[in-house]
Chain A
């Protein structure tokens, strides 16, 4: 992350300080997006990774090449602390998955903003947020996130 220009923005999740590089855009479902030629490359933000912690298993339920509406279900993830379905952050064509993560998903934890990227999509991504907007979004949803976690833990 030393190659990220400028200081990253930060958000306090309790005692944990999540960092968000300013060289990219963000989606509301806690993924970052960075343009790579024709496509946008997506990965989990520090916020998502903090909630997940160690990722053990990742599976995609669509094939590369699929044209997807926004929020289409695309896969599953299992981590030390959580499990979740995963959804398309934007509408568009899913160009490619990071195949290395299927055998070893640990890069999601150790290199989330670079080698731990998840997939690439072709789409305009107009609704993606700037880092500042994403931080505002985090502040708005932090309460609900905490309630989700606590509520489920008390089940």
Chain B
């Protein structure tokens, strides 16, 4: 009856004690929840492709909840990049009101384009990504994890992403024995069995590396805690949101650093992530579908937010020397690319190579308010 669910906690890069505390509070609270296994990994985005953390994630076969200091989209498609795929689980905790945004975004373009995601099979399990920046205490996350765990232990997997539909017998059959070759094995729980022993979906990861530290709990039903400790360097590379990507190839035409490639099915992929130029998000700016995410970029739209969330902190960039920026996205992308070409000892190309076929569809600037005037005063003050 009880289907176990893995809860992955991806630690932040920041030394902010409140963030660290939140992570540890989550671990402590979830350890007492039946049917939950907790895996603590370093910052998801920085994981090495063949490192312990990535292997541990790949070893989780069933449903999973991933809590990270990233936008849900960024987390989901970073996981995709590591080969960790599944249906998108819907959490009630959202970093932004996605539904409203999607509607306003797609006013001009009717949603009739084929997205890459429509053309590839998805493993029949669900992955719930939750942004740890939404709440500043552990309690709401613990409640949500428990809610998702309940949802997954009671009902079998609904196939629709939105409304929970009852699966047909045929669908149930297919879930039990997937016909596509990319499906990951689900932990099979025998009806009537007292409890699944041990959490089968974590076995692979636990044996994957000797550096795992495990704290086994005495009973089978209580949580198992796995902590992945891996020393990581900061990374910088794009992740593609294949639910938006239309395989239009603008990015591969624009990027001159060989980051992008195509797979055997001629589908765009980030082939050489470490060729990417640190700090440069230019390809994301030229993507017509806003499908390219740089999870660590400071602009929420590039980092995977659906709508821009206001920060509660003061932005001191103007005081610390930020230049004026009234450029279009396209102009910024061309400038950023030229900057990176020059840094790499190559010649700038300006707008002559891979210029996107569309024009920037950025929203017109909002009317000026008091703050704008204040910031204009800052611009004039030569700080």
Contact = CB atoms under 8 A, between A and B. Distances in A.
Contacts of A51: 316, 319
Nearest to B15: A56
A5 interface: no
A76 B299 CA distance: 11
A73 B297 CA distance: 12
Contact of A59 (B296, B323, B383): B296
Interface in B4-20: 13-17, 19
B298 interface: yes
A80 B234 CA distance: 22
A122 B342 CA distance: 17
A110 interface: no
A89 interface: yes
Interface of B: 13-17, 19, 234, 236, 278-279, 296, 298, 310-311, 313-323, 339, 342-343, 370-371, 374-375, 377-378, 381-383
10 contacts: A28-B383, A63-B278, A71-B321, A82-B314, A84-B317, A86-B321, A141-B381, A149-B314, A151-B370, A151-B374
A148 B339 contact: no
Given A28-B383, A144-B378, A151-B371, A86 B14 contact: no
Contacts of B313: 78, 81-83
Given A80-B16, A141-B319, 17 more contacts: A28-B383, A48-B320, A59-B13, A59-B234, A60-B278, A71-B322, A71-B323, A73-B322, A76-B298, A78-B16, A81-B313, A84-B319, A85-B298, A85-B322, A86-B321, A148-B314, A152-B314
A84 B374 contact: no
A82 B316 contact: yes
Interface in A60-105: 60-63, 66-67, 71-73, 76, 78, 80-87, 89, 102, 104-105
A29 B383 contact: yes
A86 B314 contact: no
A1 interface: no
B314 A89 contact: no
A61 to B, nearest CB: 3
Contact of B16 (A48, A52, A57, A141): A57
B114 to A, nearest CB: 35
A102 B235 CA distance: 13
A29 B371 CA distance: 21
A148 B342 contact: no
A140 B383 CA distance: 9
Contacts of B16: 56-57, 78, 80
Nearest to B380: A144
Nearest to B316: A84
B320 A83 contact: no
B321 A29 contact: yes
Contacts of B298: 76, 85
B15 A86 contact: no
A35 interface: no
Contacts of A148: 314, 316, 318-319, 374-375, 378
Q: Which 8 A-B pairs have the closest CB atoms?
A: A61-B279, A29-B321, A57-B14, A87-B321, A56-B16, A84-B316, A151-B374, A82-B314
Interface in A105-146: 105-106, 140-141, 144-145
A48 B310 CA distance: 23
Nearest to A88: B321
Contacts of B375: 148, 151
A102 B46 CA distance: 14
Contacts of A102: 234
B371 A152 contact: yes
Given A28-B321, A71-B321, A147-B377, A62 B343 contact: yes
A85 B234 CA distance: 17
Nearest to A140: B381
A24 interface: no
